[in-house]
Structure 1
Amino acid sequence: MHSPATHAATPTPGASDDPLQRERDHLAASRAALRAMRQDAESLDISDVAGSWVTQQVLHNQIQRRIAALADLLHTPLFFGRLDFLHAISTDASEGAGGERFYIGRRHVHDADGDPMVIDWRAPVSQSFYRASRKDPMDIGKRRRFGYTGGELTAYEDENLSDPAELETASALLAAEIEKPRVGPMRDIVATIQPEQDEIVRADVGGTVCVQGAPGTGKTAVGLHRVAYLLYAHRDRLAKSGTLVIGPNSSFLSYIEQVLPALGELDVAQATVQELVAHVEVRGTDSAPAARIKGDARLAEVLRRAVRAGITLPTEPCVVVRGSRRWRVPVYELVEIIEELASREIRYGAAMEALPQRISHAVLLKMEQGGEAPDDRVQDAVARSREVKAMVKACWPPVDPAKLVLRLLSDAEFLAASAEGILTAEEQAEILWAKPGRSVKTAPWTAADAVLVDEATDLVQRTPSLGHVVLDEAQDLSPMQYRAVGRRCTTGSATVLGDLAQGTTPWATASWPEALRHLGKQGAHVEELTTGFRVPEEVIAYASRLLPAIAPGLAPATSIRTGQDTLTIRHTPDGLVESVVEACRTALQQEGSTGLIAADARIPLFEAALAEAGLAFLTPGTETTAEARLTLVPASLAKGLEYDYVVLDEPAAVVAGEPDERTGLRRLYVALTRAVSGLTVLHEQPLPVQLG
């Protein structure tokens, strides 16, 4: 990166001659202009707007969202960069070296005349801030970065991209922004987006992008910023179809929920996969083999057969009485209609709705042949007639998806018929409920069963598609879960984020092409991020020793954070719990957040130990504050979270807490890579041999 020294704030007399003060003046003027924009929105009067009450409510809601989006977050920099172009890029050239000057920020701000004071980071002109370099300056003479403390502008740093004499150095402000302590929820990275990240963020809305990212490479932030960019570039399109962010659990969603509002986007929904498929109440758990089978894509064909198992061909004609006449549709015609509908592979419910109309049409043809002239009203009346309804119910009966799956998992004969040639007898026995419930409400539904109900629901009636879906921690999804997500973006696009090395479920993704096939996005482009911006190099190098055992095809990640003494490994044969508590106390003396990660089975042990030591602690998903900065994290919930300092208890227990060694080592890899500034590993048992 091309960057000279940083200029810090100094109390200089004559503020107008101080470059830093001029930038502060522009910041103050920009904040005033933003307040004026908000006041303009608040003063809008729609009481006399023509239209219905519904129209006024829609307008009122739109105005309220506009007002909320114009909120000035005092501790969030309104702009973080400046571009001085060498040449004018519009007919109205402003100040600069013969060109124009633009301040780049989180949202657009204009003055009373409509002239821009801050340019939205998503605007085309802002792309140069992220991608311009010494090799390709993109007509940028100077790129300026700003440093802030709280909401106060305290420093700036210039990169003279057009000056061949200036030396190539790293950006101190960029490094400082990346290394800020992690207190509170996840922050946006809009000021620090790197060129390879920006390419993903600005990829076309029509295509699906899959990002394989090692820990700390910013893949989650990239996905969230991509949503914000797409809403800016294609707002009309996505406002109608909707956007959705899917995360692995509620703790993760709580951690990231402030990123999009900070970028001015308030209407993006968030959910877990389990929330998407909440057709039944989950009250049971599967064994690992049963969950693996239920998550297998073969179950889609089993369910398709089960849904269509009730279709039967008629053995008697359909006779419709109209007035004094009787109209007869013979058996062979009915068979042809039903077989044709069945062969088209349309949704079961859509075919069931079409069948009475098809039979009615056959009746109308006979009426015309008999000299009558029926119209559409007659066809609708025939379709609703008692005789036609009875025929449809007998041949194409309605299907309740939950009741169907209940029968499939309770009735061995029905399962055998539906799974013949697909599942072995042993596999069928594995997924059958030992104690089935008598009804949908009392059935022992598991998380995997809920996905099956969702699949059956889609076989009956098409699932509405969203415009764009971001799927994070995707490596942990089963093929059937991928199908559930894919149904939500059949006519839209997706951003798939994950790391194959962090797959910790029995059905964890083996390869991205396979996952994308189940998602229905076979043509997606796969990008790999290997440069880390969060995890220190010393820590990521240590964790990467596990890669040959957990993901041999992945290249080890590197990190721009090369600080020393970021990793401490300590063998504690006596008093491990006390040593862990003391390590937490030491970490809390530093600025930032601390996470104590332990195997799930050892969490109650540390709840008691921390309470006895007088150390207040939070649970994952709870926002850290200046007063409460220690979070006790079960290893199963650590994925996607980050803390300035991590204390990791007994790696062997983390590995042993999983059903097999490979999954356990992957869980350990996740735990090792949650630290931003320092990692302390304490152990009594021997470390896994893969760690050397």
Structure 2
Amino acid sequence: MRADAESLDIGDVTANWVNAEVLRSELDLRIKSLADLVDTPLFFGRLDYLHDLDAEGEHGHRFYIGRRHVHDAHGDPMVIDWRAPVSQPYYQATKQNPRDVGLRRRFGYDGGELTAYEDEHLSDPTEVETSSRLLQREIERPRVGPMRDIVATIQPEQDEIVRAPLTGSVCVQGAPGTGKTAVGLHRVAYLLYAYRERLARAGTLVIGPNRSFLRYIEQVLPALGELEVKQATVDELVAHVEVRGADGATAARLKGDARMAEVLRRAVRAGVRMPAEPLMVVRGSRRWRVPAHELSELVQELLDRDIRYGAAREALPQRIAHSVLVRMEQAGEAPDDRTQNAVARTPAVKAVVKECWPAVEPAKLVLRLLSDADFLAEMAEGILSEEERKEILWDRPARSVKSARWSPADAVLIDEARDLVERTGSLGHVVLDEAQDLSPMQYRAVGRRCSTGSVTILGDIAQGTTPWATESWAAALAHLGKPEAVVEELTQGFRVPRTVISYASRLLPAIAPELSEATSVRDSPGSFEVRAVSPAELDDALVTACRAALAREGSVGLITADARVPVLSAALVAADLAHLAPGQETSRGARLTLVPASLAKGLEYDYVVLDDPAAVVDGEPDERTGLRRLYVALTRAVSGLTVVHAAPLPGLLAAAG
């Protein structure tokens, strides 16, 4: 197929060089998408239907299921794309509902080489239904390098979310190891298959918590044949100014509060003034007068409509010009649209617009709001208390936008102000991962990017580790502007071993008592150990645990409190253990990653060594946030977890021994 694409001669098939360039770029993209992935097999399953699908043949159809569509030299299909409707029974068919499937075959691979297969006779009532050993082996396969797709192991409840229609928004509450991130990425791939033309025009975007996380997941979609999906963090979406500062927890929480949207709305419109003088427009030898009260009515009408500030500012000169044209017509003249546009551009009308509806620069507006105590007090009256206003007011007012030490929360405020002035463009579909950590104002910023499209929200309330982390999905969806989104809960874990998830779940009563405890389908319990040492032995014990983990196959993550990263990095170097930072796994230069607890979310490793849980908890501003951070760290393991501690364990972990 790739050779056929490369051999195409498009030299004489286009009308001009522009069309030729467009066609060439599309052909290059096609060739790129057909690149061989040596370790990725073309097919992973087979379906044997009992009856012919078009009801014309005597025998059932047989389909091989793979990551992409593959046809032979005659154009006949050899492998069916996993997203095609005919492939869905591979994920959904059961003994109780075989969907006309007689046999489902799973293929097992090792490094791209076919090594095993396994059959299920779904229409045979005498065959006993058992769990798939190949499925179990695929889940437990060592993880080295970036995140990989789960297209061969998607479960029925995951498949229903993946194939949900584009028209609806979906919120996935998923416990650790339930595959919510993979579900979100595969949903993007499915939507691009089912609604390709619409999303090609509107665009898609995957939003992650940080760049390390995005680098970890960046190979999933290309492996599924989708090369054009953009990825970004929320901070990158709102990067209208250079962020060089940071807020304290209280100030950041207040700036992220949804009440700030109303404060900004007032501030944007604070400069609107009613005209005190009538307007005089000169056209040729005649003068046309519009009284001040009529101008005021036009301004008030635009204020009452509450349309975006910039759109109203563009509409005002046309409204004023229309009033002049009415007077011209009453005097017997016959003006047209060109006359109205000319009147709208006259210096007199421009002067009125400048006086009544001045231009607003969002960054300068937010600068004034955070620097001018009197202006902030006026705009936040009845919304923020005096103590709250003092908390967000800058100690040292900046002189200009460039010299200001903007914080991430300030950048979100500027983005809100920009949208109040001019509408933010909307994409066709957005996937928002680790959504529980966003502030209301950040939710609003994401919601603006999919205001006319749909969104897939992925997260876990129990893993919220910011001071402003959401306490309910209903509130989050309201801030996103998607209150109608369907909330799905995934509680069946596939990644985290049963003993590990059970140990971590001891924290749930303190961090998210309303959530169900996650279960694990893993037959193998995984290796699990809690080791107490003295403070003097701690670093050496961690190095020893890392060596033991590296003796096995797979990736190893040493997770520690952020403040301990330099100390442990030096200890690993001294012990001659090469290690990476989060997001560098794609380099494949080493199997050990030193992970600050603040960056552990969303990552996974075959073996995790956790350094001193008490230090992880103490590294956060409050105990609940610290316990949530610890819950995240405990649930990154796929095959084994070793907890090494010198300080006493947090009470909930120590209580049961």
Aligned residue for 2:559?
597
Out of 58, 67, 71, the position equivalent to 2:35 is 71
Aligned partner of residue 513 in structure 2, secondary structure? coil
Aligned residue for 1:454?
415
Residue 320 of structure 1 and its aligned partner are, at CA, apart by 0.5
Residue 624 of structure 1 and its aligned partner are, at CA, apart by 5.3
Aligned residue for 2:624?
662
Out of 257, 276, 291, the position equivalent to 1:330 is 291
Out of 305, 314, 318, the position equivalent to 2:275 is 314
Aligned residue for 2:431?
470
Out of 578, 597, 601, the position equivalent to 1:639 is 601
Residue 540 of structure 1 and its aligned partner are, at CA, apart by 0.2
The one-letter code sitting in structure 2 at the alignment partner of 1:439 is S
Out of 128, 137, 141, the position equivalent to 2:102 is 141
Aligned residue for 1:219?
180
Q: 1:471-517 deviations in whole A, cap 9, x for unaligned?
A: 00000000000000000000000000000000000000100000000
Establish whether residue 432 from structure 1 lines up as the match of residue 393 from structure 2: yes
Partners of 1:191 and 1:622 in 2: CA distance? 26
**8 Å contact 2:526–2:639 — kept in the other structure?**
no
Out of 606, 609, 626, the position equivalent to 2:571 is 609
Partners of 2:368 and 2:516 in 1: CA distance? 47
The one-letter code sitting in structure 2 at the alignment partner of 1:272 is T
Partners of 2:641 and 2:276 in 1: CA distance? 74
Aligned partner of residue 303 in structure 2, secondary structure? helix
Aligned residue for 2:461?
500
Aligned partner of residue 88 in structure 2, secondary structure? helix
The one-letter code sitting in structure 1 at the alignment partner of 2:607 is Y
Aligned partner of residue 338 in structure 1, secondary structure? helix
Q: 1:367-421 deviations in whole A, cap 9, x for unaligned?
A: 1111111111111111111000000000000000000000000000110111000
Q: 1:228-265 deviations in whole A, cap 9, x for unaligned?
A: 00000000000000000000000000000000000000
Residue 51 of structure 1 and its aligned partner are, at CA, apart by 3.1
Aligned residue for 2:540?
578
Residue 38 of structure 1 and its aligned partner are, at CA, apart by 1.2
Establish whether residue 152 from structure 1 lines up as the match of residue 116 from structure 2: no
When the two structures are aligned, how many residues end up with a matched partner? 653
Partners of 1:619 and 1:152 in 2: CA distance? 31
Residue 565 of structure 1 and its aligned partner are, at CA, apart by 5.2
Partners of 2:131 and 2:12 in 1: CA distance? 58
**8 Å contact 1:538–1:562 — kept in the other structure?**
no
Aligned partner of residue 189 in structure 1, secondary structure? coil
Aligned residue for 2:328?
367
Aligned partner of residue 232 in structure 1, secondary structure? helix
Which deviates more, 430-439 or 558-567? 558-567
Q: 1:595-614 deviations in whole A, cap 9, x for unaligned?
A: 00000000010011000000
Partners of 2:290 and 2:589 in 1: CA distance? 79
Return closer, same or farther for 1:247/1:689 CA change in 2, 3 Å cut-off.
same
Q: 1:604-632 deviations in whole A, cap 9, x for unaligned?
A: 10011000000000000002566510000
Please give the residue correspondences for 1:162-177 in structure 2 after superposition, counting only pairs within 5 Å. Answer: 162-177=123-138
Residue 563 of structure 1 and its aligned partner are, at CA, apart by 2.1
Partners of 1:609 and 1:47 in 2: CA distance? 61
The one-letter code sitting in structure 1 at the alignment partner of 2:44 is F
Out of 23, 37, 51, the position equivalent to 1:59 is 23
The one-letter code sitting in structure 2 at the alignment partner of 1:110 is H
Partners of 1:364 and 1:427 in 2: CA distance? 50
Partners of 1:475 and 1:69 in 2: CA distance? 34
Residue 155 of structure 1 and its aligned partner are, at CA, apart by 1.0
**8 Å contact 2:497–2:526 — kept in the other structure?**
no
Residue 436 of structure 1 and its aligned partner are, at CA, apart by 1.9
Establish whether residue 105 from structure 1 lines up as the match of residue 89 from structure 2: no
Aligned residue for 1:9?
none
The one-letter code sitting in structure 1 at the alignment partner of 2:86 is V
Out of 82, 88, 96, the position equivalent to 1:127 is 88
Aligned partner of residue 575 in structure 1, secondary structure? helix
Aligned partner of residue 349 in structure 2, secondary structure? helix
Aligned residue for 1:539?
500
Aligned residue for 2:583?
621
Partners of 2:10 and 2:377 in 1: CA distance? 63
**8 Å contact 1:593–1:624 — kept in the other structure?**
no
**8 Å contact 1:654–1:664 — kept in the other structure?**
yes
Residue 203 of structure 1 and its aligned partner are, at CA, apart by 0.2
Out of 43, 49, 70, the position equivalent to 2:13 is 49
The one-letter code sitting in structure 2 at the alignment partner of 1:648 is L
Aligned residue for 1:34?
none
Residue 53 of structure 1 and its aligned partner are, at CA, apart by 2.5
Task: Structure 1 unaligned segments of length 5 or more: list them.
Answer: 1-36
**8 Å contact 1:624–1:630 — kept in the other structure?**
no
Partners of 1:371 and 1:365 in 2: CA distance? 10
Establish whether residue 512 from structure 1 lines up as the match of residue 473 from structure 2: yes
**8 Å contact 2:216–2:586 — kept in the other structure?**
no
The one-letter code sitting in structure 1 at the alignment partner of 2:67 is R
The one-letter code sitting in structure 2 at the alignment partner of 1:67 is I
Task: Structure 2 unaligned segments of length 5 or more: list them.
Answer: none
Q: 1:124-169 deviations in whole A, cap 9, x for unaligned?
A: 0000000000000000000000011111111110000111111121
Partners of 1:513 and 1:652 in 2: CA distance? 32
Establish whether residue 83 from structure 1 lines up as the match of residue 44 from structure 2: no
Aligned partner of residue 282 in structure 2, secondary structure? strand
The one-letter code sitting in structure 1 at the alignment partner of 2:176 is P
Residue 92 of structure 1 and its aligned partner are, at CA, apart by 6.4
Partners of 2:314 and 2:589 in 1: CA distance? 61
The one-letter code sitting in structure 1 at the alignment partner of 2:21 is Q
**8 Å contact 2:556–2:593 — kept in the other structure?**
yes
Aligned partner of residue 365 in structure 1, secondary structure? helix
Q: 1:181-227 deviations in whole A, cap 9, x for unaligned?
A: 01010000000000000000000100000000000000000000000
Residue 43 of structure 1 and its aligned partner are, at CA, apart by 2.0
Which deviates more, 46-55 or 110-119? 46-55
Partners of 2:389 and 2:31 in 1: CA distance? 56
Residue 56 of structure 1 and its aligned partner are, at CA, apart by 1.9
Q: 1:455-479 deviations in whole A, cap 9, x for unaligned?
A: 0000000000000000000000000
Residue 44 of structure 1 and its aligned partner are, at CA, apart by 2.1
- In the superposition, the TM-score normalised over structure 2's length comes to 0.98
Aligned partner of residue 59 in structure 1, secondary structure? helix
Out of 180, 185, 198, the position equivalent to 2:146 is 185
Aligned partner of residue 84 in structure 1, secondary structure? strand
Aligned residue for 1:20?
none
Aligned residue for 2:381?
420
Which deviates more, 462-471 or 50-59? 50-59
Partners of 2:486 and 2:140 in 1: CA distance? 31
The one-letter code sitting in structure 2 at the alignment partner of 1:370 is A
Establish whether residue 38 from structure 1 lines up as the match of residue 36 from structure 2: no
Partners of 2:581 and 2:609 in 1: CA distance? 15
Residue 634 of structure 1 and its aligned partner are, at CA, apart by 0.2
User: Aligned-residue CA RMSD in angstroms?
Assistant: 1.0
Which deviates more, 107-116 or 467-476? 107-116
Q: 1:399-452 deviations in whole A, cap 9, x for unaligned?
A: 000000000000001101110000000000000000121100011100000000
Residue 69 of structure 1 and its aligned partner are, at CA, apart by 1.1
Return closer, same or farther for 1:290/1:86 CA change in 2, 3 Å cut-off.
same
Residue 59 of structure 1 and its aligned partner are, at CA, apart by 1.4
